[in-house]
Structure 1
Amino acid sequence: MAHIDQLKQILHRVEKGQQTDEDITFLRQLLSAGDRQIVSQLGKYNINIGEGRDIHIGDRIYQQWDEQAIQALVKAIQKVNWRCVSNLTENDYTQSTGVSIIDKLAKTFTDFSQKNVMRYGLKLAFSPNHNQEYFVSAVYQVIKHWKINTWEILQEIPIPNHLDMFTSITISPNAQLIAACTQYQIQIWRLGEKTALHTLSKTIFSNFFDFFGFDSITFSPDGKILAANDNRDIKLWDVESGKEIAKLSGHCDKVTCVAFNPTNGRILASCSYDKTIKLWDIDSKRCLGTLSAHRDAVYTLAFSPDGEILASGSNDNTIKLWHLNTGEIPQTRRHHSDAVTCLVFSPDGKTLVSGSNDETIVEWKITENELQVFPERHRRGITSIAFSPDGETLISGGRDQTIKVWRR
């Protein structure tokens, strides 16, 4: 244990570039000894010991802890841009019965379902207002309103009549409204109030044989329109009145995500299990074009802050960057080993952060082919990520029912 504590202190000094020659000598001795507890501490820097004791650092493999490996280790540690400063754990809904064989089977089934049902897991949204620093989370029958820095829960909105999980949550551009949806219902609240301003439900006839309801909601840039997928369609509501104002149809399979262009509120993007992305003019209610390059279902979309790039993440494990104004062939970013489930641009537009079913979060530089893997994982995969307005804080949620708070 003393060695673990000492190693942590050394790694902390290496992160800041304050390591001494004695630190490096001691570090090499510990690593050469091959203690698995010590080696496991390096996992958060994306350093792993493979079969046959191969040392994997980045995209290089070393056979022993020689000078080159130690130098690569130091660079890898100092390259990490994000540190997890808080873990806010929610309830894990895998309950114990006290009967070991039943608990084991239940755990196996839960892990499988939570890994493969895309909508399952924590959903998060960050206030876009610099003067109102808060974020909201939604998972199961309750929405929580969190304070930044202290990470206190300021308010809880219980939704006791719904047995299904929340599938999406969003905050209006003026940070005064919160909207969240379950499979069959959308609700909108004013900040600080527990009684819904509007409840937008699917009709009995529309959902009687429809197991694929609302999965993604978003406010228009002016906050006047709320858009959501409804199985293969996209529906638009007037936020003030709560009335449905349009339905957009064109996908031939379930729509998975909708996103407004932040600089042109007339343009809405949608993606689908049909492997395509569509761009819509909501004024004329017509499809402006279809983007096809993914080889499997497209799960998530995000516009850059200037509205010029649309990023898409897919079950083919790739991210595509679509330059909408130039019509260039989309750039492909590959690193994830499983489906890309969520995307968000940094407020300055210089980086894109992705979450995946492979349990990792990756930050990508837009203008350079560089990436950085976050130093901790979410068990069972990532389901939501969101940036603070200043770009210095990021929150992530996963199927492990944990919210991780990251700081640069």
Structure 2
Amino acid sequence: MEKRKSPPPSAATSGAVTKRTRLDGPPPPTNTQLAISSGSDASKALVRSVKRTSSLDAPIVSLAGAHSSEILSCRFDPTGQNIAACSADRSISLWRTYPPNTNYALLTTIHKAPVLDVQWAITSPSLFSCSADKTVALTDLATGTRVRRWRGHTGVVNSIDRAMAGGSELVASGSDDGFVCVWEGEEKDAVVELEVGSPVTAVCWSGDGTQIFVGGLDNVVSVYDLRRREVVYTLPGHTDTIAGLALSPSHNHLLSTSFDSTAIIHDVRPFSASPTRVHRTLHGAPAGNENALLRGGWSRTGEGWVGVGGADRTVTVWEVDSGKPVYKLPGHKGTVTAVDFHPREPIILTASKDATMLLGELDNT
């Protein structure tokens, strides 16, 4: 782990995640006055009041300088206080969400190849990650050291997800070797291996941890029952490789993105009224020709919105019920690879091939 040159006073010397002082809550949003134009008489300046909806310093905050190559995944932690991002430069960066938005740690020794996905642990201040070095790792953020490295895949590991099942935290990983592996705690070997038959590009747990949604080069999402270890049904709709999967907060719907430039919201309730289970097909986020794994996300304060980045360097946010786009967010200088929503405030986090992230304040009224 390489520490930043000027860590904030609150950061431990090891670069570990430190708890923020507990407050009654974030400071209430305020109205910021901006001078739009002014002449020689300052009293006649045109002033506009901008409604604020979050505790960020500004409506848009740039997080830059940690990575030297494209950022491939980014996530808020469960509290919304911290952010983790991983990059093709083989490192993982840790940031403060709120002012001063410090990049307080850079983990450079966890993997030996590009880091493709990260997930915050549920039960401890730890971070799961996967890499092109064919491994899945668990890093203790109290010390900044890797405490577990799972070897079992024979190809690039593209995606990971974690879930609680039977009192244990399980990690699922999908690889180019055509397998999904499930890892648990102190176990050195995978506790479950699912042979998919084609490269796996996206994995996602069901809400109860009994099923795994798997996407890959076969253009469909396969739903595996972990107890039976077989496919129980599939979710069609895409015409090209699945690029990312994300489960809704209610666990009733699954968002899938694809190289075919569409995003589909699938109905994954046990008894769906739709034979195809397609709830909405969304257009507006072009995948481009880079074959990048574009990861979308759900607004976690409800199931009102989903967001997906695109090769047009923007993020499209749709209203789930109507399927209509409500935001087209610019700002990046490269393909937007990952989107996540803050768990408590209307804030969107985006990452890009331009090696930067943006925090954007949304109006959810």
TM-score bin (small chain): 0.7 to 0.9
1:224 positional shift: 1.3
Distance change in 2, residues 1:267/1:295 (3 Å): same
Task: Give the match for residue 157 of structure 2.
Answer: 214
1:213 positional shift: 1.2
Inter-partner Cα distance in structure 2 for 1:367 and 1:286 = 32
Task: Give the match for residue 142 of structure 1.
Answer: 91
TM-score scaled by structure 1?
Answer: 0.68
SS in 1 for 2:127: strand
**CA RMSD in angstroms, aligned pairs only:** 2.7
CA contact (8 A) 1:224 1:240 kept: no
Distance change in 2, residues 1:295/1:259 (3 Å): same
1:397 positional shift: 0.7
Given the alignment of the two structures, is residue 88 of structure 1 paired with residue 63 of structure 2, yes or no?
A: yes
Task: Give the match for residue 154 of structure 1.
Answer: 104
Distance change in 2, residues 1:276/1:215 (3 Å): same
SS in 2 for 1:244: coil
Inter-partner Cα distance in structure 2 for 1:11 and 1:122 = 42
Given the alignment of the two structures, is residue 345 of structure 1 paired with residue 325 of structure 2, yes or no?
A: no
Letter in 2 for 1:297: T
Letter in 1 for 2:199: K
Inter-partner Cα distance in structure 2 for 1:235 and 1:201 = 10
Which range is displaced more, 330-339 or 176-185? Answer: 330-339
Letter in 2 for 1:275: N
Task: Give the match for residue 235 of structure 2.
Answer: 291
Letter in 2 for 1:137: A
CA contact (8 A) 2:119 2:160 kept: yes
1:93 positional shift: 4.3
1:239-259, CA deviations, whole angstroms, 9 ceiling, x for partnerless residues? 343431011123x42111101
SS in 2 for 1:342: coil
Distance change in 2, residues 1:195/1:373 (3 Å): same
Mapping of residues 154-303 of structure 1, within 5 Å:
154-159=104-109, 162=112, 164-174=113-123, 176-183=125-132, 184-202=134-152, 207=154, 212-222=155-165, 224-231=169-176, 232-250=178-196, 252-262=197-207, 264-303=208-247
Inter-partner Cα distance in structure 2 for 1:196 and 1:317 = 37
The percent of aligned pairs where both chains have the same amino acid is 16
Inter-partner Cα distance in structure 2 for 1:12 and 1:189 = 49
Task: Give the match for residue 321 of structure 1.
Answer: 265
Distance change in 2, residues 1:313/1:12 (3 Å): farther
Among 325, 329, 354, the residue aligned to 1:400: 354
Inter-partner Cα distance in structure 2 for 1:229 and 1:334 = 26
Inter-partner Cα distance in structure 1 for 2:262 and 2:306 = 13
Inter-partner Cα distance in structure 2 for 1:154 and 1:242 = 31
Inter-partner Cα distance in structure 2 for 1:365 and 1:375 = 14
Inter-partner Cα distance in structure 2 for 1:213 and 1:190 = 23
CA contact (8 A) 1:346 1:391 kept: no
Among 335, 343, 348, the residue aligned to 1:389: 343
CA contact (8 A) 2:170 2:182 kept: yes
Given the alignment of the two structures, is residue 364 of structure 1 paired with residue 325 of structure 2, yes or no?
A: no
SS in 2 for 1:337: coil
For structure 2, which runs of at least 5 residues remain unmatched after alignment? 1-34, 39-44, 52-57
1:390 positional shift: 0.5
More helix by share: 1
TM-score scaled by structure 2?
Answer: 0.75
CA contact (8 A) 1:220 1:265 kept: yes
Letter in 2 for 1:216: S
SS in 1 for 2:48: helix
Given the alignment of the two structures, is residue 377 of structure 1 paired with residue 352 of structure 2, yes or no?
A: no
- Larger radius of gyration between Structure 1 and Structure 2: 1
Letter in 2 for 1:171: W
Inter-partner Cα distance in structure 2 for 1:168 and 1:283 = 26
Inter-partner Cα distance in structure 1 for 2:182 and 2:224 = 12
SS in 1 for 2:337: strand
Inter-partner Cα distance in structure 2 for 1:153 and 1:375 = 24
SS in 1 for 2:118: strand
1:162-187, CA deviations, whole angstroms, 9 ceiling, x for partnerless residues? 2x211000002235220111112221
CA contact (8 A) 1:124 1:169 kept: yes
CA contact (8 A) 1:253 1:273 kept: yes
Where in structure 1 do 4 or more consecutive aligned residues deviate above 6 Å?
A: none
